[in-house]
Amino acid sequence: MKNIFEVSSLLTNLNSLIDQNIYLKDIWIQGEVTDYKGPAYSGHKYFSIKDENNMIRCVFFKYAHIGSDDFLDGDKILINGEIEIYSPTGNLQLKVRSVKKHGLGDISKEIDRLRQRLEHEGLFDLDRKRDIPLFPQTICVITSENSSAWEDIKKVITMRYPLVKLILIPTLMQGEYCIEGVCNSIDIANKESLGDIILLSRGGGSEEDLMPFNSEEIVRFIFASKIPIVTGIGHEDDNTLSDYVADKRGLTPTGAAQIITPDINDLKIEINRFSLNIQKSLKYYLEFKIPEIEKVKIRLQNIFPRKIEILIRNTDQIEFMLNDKLSNYIKITINKLEVIKHSISVFNINEMSKKGYALVENNKKRIIKSIDQVEMGEKLKILLSDGILSSKVENKIRE
């Protein structure tokens, strides 16, 4: 009968074989650091080292750090350590004894050379960056449809500025087809004029995950875009060439969403202040001009007594016309401001939620006003002040 191993016994045997190989117990490996996120809470460091074709995971325990060089993703290093199989997961890994730096890795050098060349061409010049619209009507978002970045963006923008329309172009944001996908999405957004702003965003990841956003292809598509582009790629300490060429950079997807939208509550305060200032100014103008007219009437009566009747009539007409025009202007201005305030209140989810109302929209981002707009089994979203509920139409009852 053939030998049958338990998983644990198989891994134990493999480790025994490795222990018997003196070359694997004291080995030197050079390569480029990747997937390094800094020391863990324990002080241990976990990362991978790679060459052009392969990579191996590494663990560098805190007690072995003395005398070794510090390193970051992209650094080229020389490692001394021993090979082992980590039994709980069955992964082959290198247990590191020492690390010596050999300068920047090839990828980092290549990115730096590309950055210098593009900078020399003027792609990163500040004076070519476009202004971001203060009150966008439509924002085109390029990101992965099922990503946390997309959920964060929707939540922030819905709370801050519910009047804006969001259009998502679902795009692969890492991997082999990421560069082609991002370039195609930027091209589509421009050709179809899908927004006043393009938000290019993805959440954090390893250096390799973010590498497509250092590509010359994406950088040049951002540069050529007719629509202003704002990036929100990775975390605060992640910097890519796409961030350099973008018209504005958000430190995170949430930060980028805040940059491109005003706060509706601040707008309401400003509108109220503006309305009060207009009323005060018009009131002052009327109070100042009417006494002046009366003074002119009296002066004319004293100087030209025979022409009084004609002049008084003309003056009265002017006074009546002025009063009518100013009164009409005040009414029109106040009515316009009230309409704006009402429009904001109607679409303000926070105010609607206090009254027990909510906005219902379908997957095409259209607000549902009648049961005739939905089909049985159709999925809907219910927008509340503190989040979004997903629902499905199971029955329609007309009232």
CB 197 within 8 A of CB 133: yes
Q: Which CATH class is domain 7-104?
A: mainly beta
Which residues of the chain fall short of a pLDDT of 50? 104
Kindly calculate the radius of gyration of the chain based on its CA atoms and give it in whole angstroms: 34
Residue 348 tokens, joined: 């303000």
The helix/strand/coil state of 46 is: strand
Angle among Cα 348, 190, 211 to the nearest 5 degrees reads 95
Going by C-alpha positions, the residue among 78, 68, 130, 67 that lies closest to residue 103 is 78
The CA distances from residue 176 to 102, 203, 212, 269, in Å, are 29, 18, 9, 48
Instruction: Give the pLDDT confidence of 144-192 residue by residue, as tens digits.
Output: 999 999 999 999 999 999 999 999 999 999 888 999 999 999 999 999 9
Which residue type is seen at 176? E
- Per-residue exposure over 308-335, b if at least 16 CB sit within 10 Å of its own CB, e if not: eeeeeeeeeeebeeeeeebeeeeeeeee
The H or E element that residue 30 is part of is strand 27-34
CB 198 within 8 A of CB 140: yes
Instruction: Give the pLDDT confidence of 57-113 residue by residue, as tens digits.
Output: 999 998 888 888 888 888 888 899 999 988 888 888 999 999 987 754 567 778 888
The count of residues in the chain is 399
Angle among Cα 194, 392, 389 to the nearest 5 degrees reads 70
Place of tokens 């644990």: 8
User: How far is 293 from 275, CA to CA, in rounded Å?
Assistant: 27
Strand spans (E) along 215-287: 229-233, 248-249
The helix/strand/coil state of 384 is: strand
pLDDT of residue 348: 61
The H or E element that residue 390 is part of is strand 387-392
User: How far is 48 from 184, CA to CA, in rounded Å?
Assistant: 32
**191: exposed, middle or buried (Cβ count in 10 Å: 0-12, 13-18, 19+):** exposed
User: How far is 50 from 33, CA to CA, in rounded Å?
Assistant: 7
Torsions phi, psi for 119 (to 5 deg):
-65, -40
- Most distant pair of Cα atoms in the chain: their distance: 137
pLDDT of residue 395: 85
User: How far is 380 from 398, CA to CA, in rounded Å?
Assistant: 18
User: How far is 105 from 306, CA to CA, in rounded Å?
Assistant: 100
Residue 290 tokens, joined: 């009417």
Task: Write down the CATH number for the domain with range 109-259.
Answer: 3.40.50.261
pLDDT of residue 319: 72
CB 214 within 8 A of CB 242: yes
State pTM to two decimals.
0.51
Angle among Cα 225, 227, 233 to the nearest 5 degrees reads 75
pLDDT of residue 229: 96
